[in-house]
Amino acid sequence: MSETRYTKEHEWVRIDGGVATVGITDYAAEQLGDVVFVELPAVGKNVDKGGEAAVVESVKAASEVYAPLSGEVVEVNAALEGEPAKVNAEPMAGGWFLKLKVKNAAEVKDLMDEAAYRDYVKGL
């Protein structure tokens, strides 16, 4: 079973067999408001931890989705292009953005577990 980890920029990541699924948290989706457009990276693109991985636009603002880990994009959630509201409806499930082949598994130690993330959000 994979564990979900979190960034201070409100991305989540689940790693399963060296592949990390990336999305934004419930908190981030709520703060954005209604998502109207998602720009996904190209499959094969290499992203660095903390670098821009995708863009999400809502009725309130446009925001970057940052890569929680370094890696190569191996899959994108093409369903979001036609149905960006999935990000709001299922941010922690069907609203995922991309999957990365993880380059450096040691980067995971810098991410928060669920309890730490909950505490972080409470302080905002």
CATH number for 37: 2.40.50.100
**Would you say how long the chain is, in residues?**
124
What pTM was computed for the model? 0.96
Is residue 22 a part of any domain in this protein?
Answer: yes
Average pLDDT over residues 5-30: 97
Q: Quick one: pLDDT at residue 34?
A: 97
Number of domains comprising the chain? 1
Is residue 121 a part of any domain in this protein?
Answer: no
Q: Which domain holds residue 99?
A: 4-104
Q: Quick one: pLDDT at residue 3?
A: 87
Is residue 57 a part of any domain in this protein?
Answer: yes
Q: Quick one: pLDDT at residue 121?
A: 98
Is residue 120 a part of any domain in this protein?
Answer: no
